Amino acid sequence: MRIIVGGAGSVGQSIIGYLSRSDNDIIVIDPDQERLSEVARLYDVQPVKGSVSNPDVQEKAGADKADILIAMTDNDEVNLVACQVAHSLFNVGKKIARVDSEYFLSPLWNTLYNEKNLPIDLVISPNAEIAQAILRLIALPGAREVLPLLDGQVSVVNFKCTDCCPLLGLNMLELHKKFTEFQFSIVQMVRNGLNFLPDAEDVLKCDDEIYLAAKRKDIFDLLYGFGANRKVNRNIVIFGANSISYDLAKHLEENDSVSSCKIVTGNQQYAEKLAENLNDTAVICGEMMRDAILEAAGIETADLTVAVTEQDKDNLLVSLLARQNHICTTISLVNSRAYDNLVDHIGENVIVDRSTVTVSRMLQDIRKAPLSNAYLLGRGFGEVWELKIAADNMAFGRKIKDLKLPQNAQVCLMARQDEILFPAPTEKLQDGDKVVVFVPSAEIRKIESILGY
């Protein structure tokens, strides 16, 4: 596909980094030559200097041949105009726009984005998506990722097996026998940085990461069984003042299980703004690495710290400080891959990767298969797709084993009418079945073909 990405900032780069792994022709537009040079150095892309909302610049980028335009600058108006130009002048098939301003996202104006008004196929707010991802982690202590599927009936949850896991040394067959009252599917395991689909004889080891799919009502008990659960997050400290921390605090104020929520920021102006708009959240203004500020925030009694500043280094360092204070759980937002080596040695710190969250929100619109829901896993080793089987689909009426899915791919579970099934390889796919499939990144096109798209 020919994809134009407008904006080479942290959000744009997160998208470019993943899309460049596939067989895509990517053109990047940005007015900042330094940013363009950096992107061109890191990825195989065509840089074009200028504003993505400028018709001449879009023409230079070959918008008339583009399949998708993704406008991800930090200016909402530029993104909206870029989509309009791409539609009206160049007939680009799909338009995706980043929109962060509350007044553009208000439900009052939900009729604004359509063919007659602003022809945008997907409006995405990366910060809002990140806030939702973190809220899911807060609600399920012990999880490293929580991905709801099938209208919230099931979840794919990622967790790490520590030396406290009582199931270490068991193979996958023995593992399932330990949980006879629950059904679940191991979507993938990650060991020493490599992901794989375990077979019946594979043994669970310390530090293994598991991506597990199960009914939502069973997830807590399964985490408990693996020894991955943590105590409830009652006292929470958030580092950084932005729309992410505001969304988090706003939702946490409505959560009866949260006793205390505090925000620490060095930005006086934003601190005052947060204090005006939040009711039960304490806002502390000061340098977040200082002992006095950490003491005022109650770091020693916190159950959870969440670091969401714009600087990856600060997020990781403040999480290290929290770990030294024996905080059970720390969550750090990572905006770029520059700190990958540090991330790998950060211990039990939970990483929320901006690129993973942002790309997940876009997958439905950039894949050929008509997906109901989709997520990018980990650092991009694969995707989880939710899609509906129809009578005109090549997979209809075939047994799962006869689909001949590539190695490492699998049908993890499915919904048939009101029932959640964990199907055997001999199960036939019926009209109306909703299936959840793990798709390795290298096999996306092949699996789209197998499923008939």
Tell me: the pLDDT tens digits for 170-190?
999 999 999 989 999 999 999
pLDDT score of 338 = 61
Cβ atoms of residues 208 and 180 within 8 Å: no
Q: DSSP string spanning 251-300?
A: HHTT-TT--EEEEEES-HHHHHHHHHH-SS-EEEES-TTSHHHHHHTTGG
- Section 111-133 average pLDDT: 83
CA 243 to each of CA 75, 247, 301, 359, 399: distance values in angstroms, whole numbers, following the listed order:
15, 6, 25, 19, 47
Nearest in space to 344 (alpha carbons), one of 209, 141, 193: 193
CA angle 50, 113, 81 (to 5 degrees): 20
Backbone CA torsion sign across 103, 109, 111, 116: negative
The CATH 3.40.50.720 domain(s) of the chain lie at: 2-124, 235-356
Structure tokens at 232: 């409830």
The whole-model pTM stands at 0.91
In terms of pLDDT, which residue wins out, 311 or 134? 134
Give buried/exposed letters for 226-241 (b at 16+ CB in 10 A, else e): bbbbbeebebbbbbbb
pLDDT score of 435 = 96
- How far is Cα 142 from Cα 219, in angstroms, rounded to an integer? 11
CA angle 164, 170, 175 (to 5 degrees): 95
CATH of 2-124, one of 3.40.50.300, 2.60.450.10, 3.30.300.10, 3.40.50.720: 3.40.50.720
Angle, helix 10-19 to helix 33-42, in steps of 10 degrees: 30
Structure tokens at 138: 């807060």
pLDDT score of 335 = 81
- How far is Cα 51 from Cα 362, in angstroms, rounded to an integer? 22
Cβ atoms of residues 278 and 250 within 8 Å: yes
Q: How many residues does the chain have?
A: 453
Lowest-confidence region among 90-99, 109-118, 378-387: 109-118
- How far is Cα 50 from Cα 80, in angstroms, rounded to an integer? 16
Cβ atoms of residues 125 and 151 within 8 Å: no
Nearest in space to 371 (alpha carbons), one of 434, 285, 292: 434
Q: Which residues contact 257 (CB under 8 A, 6 or more apart)?
A: 232, 233, 234
For 293-306, write each residue's pLDDT tens digit: 988 988 888 999 99
- How far is Cα 387 from Cα 433, in angstroms, rounded to an integer? 8
The CATH 3.30.70.1450 domain(s) of the chain lie at: 142-225, 360-450
Structure tokens at 342: 């540090």
Cβ atoms of residues 147 and 156 within 8 Å: yes
- Section 138-160 average pLDDT: 96
Fold of domain 235-356: Rossmann fold (3.40.50)
Nearest in space to 382 (alpha carbons), one of 446, 311, 332: 446
For 222-264, write each residue's pLDDT tens digit: 999 999 988 889 999 999 999 999 999 999 999 999 999 999 9
Cβ atoms of residues 50 and 27 within 8 Å: no
3: helix, coil or strand? strand
Give buried/exposed letters for 30-62 (b at 16+ CB in 10 A, else e): bbeeebbeebeeebebebbebbbbbeebbeebe
400: helix, coil or strand? helix
List of E strands, 10-108: 25-30, 46-49, 68-71, 94-98
Residue corresponding to tokens 């030294």: 324
- Section 187-212 average pLDDT: 94
pLDDT score of 48 = 97
pLDDT score of 342 = 58
For 364-416, write each residue's pLDDT tens digit: 988 888 899 999 998 789 999 999 999 888 889 999 999 999 999 999 999 99
- How far is Cα 179 from Cα 212, in angstroms, rounded to an integer? 13
If you classify domain 360-450 with CATH, what class do you get?
alpha beta
Q: Does residue 336 carry a pLDDT above 80?
A: no
Q: Does CATH number 1.20.1250.20 belong to domain 142-225?
A: no
Nearest in space to 187 (alpha carbons), one of 217, 165, 216, 156: 156
Q: Does residue 129 carry a pLDDT above 90?
A: yes
| DSSP state for residue 301 in the 8-state scheme | G
pLDDT score of 145 = 96
Q: Does residue 143 carry a pLDDT above 90?
A: yes
CA angle 376, 381, 387 (to 5 degrees): 45
Question: What's the mean pLDDT when you consider all of the chain?
Answer: 90
- Report the greatest alpha carbon distance in the chain: 66
- How far is Cα 19 from Cα 38, in angstroms, rounded to an integer? 16
Structure tokens at 22: 């596939």
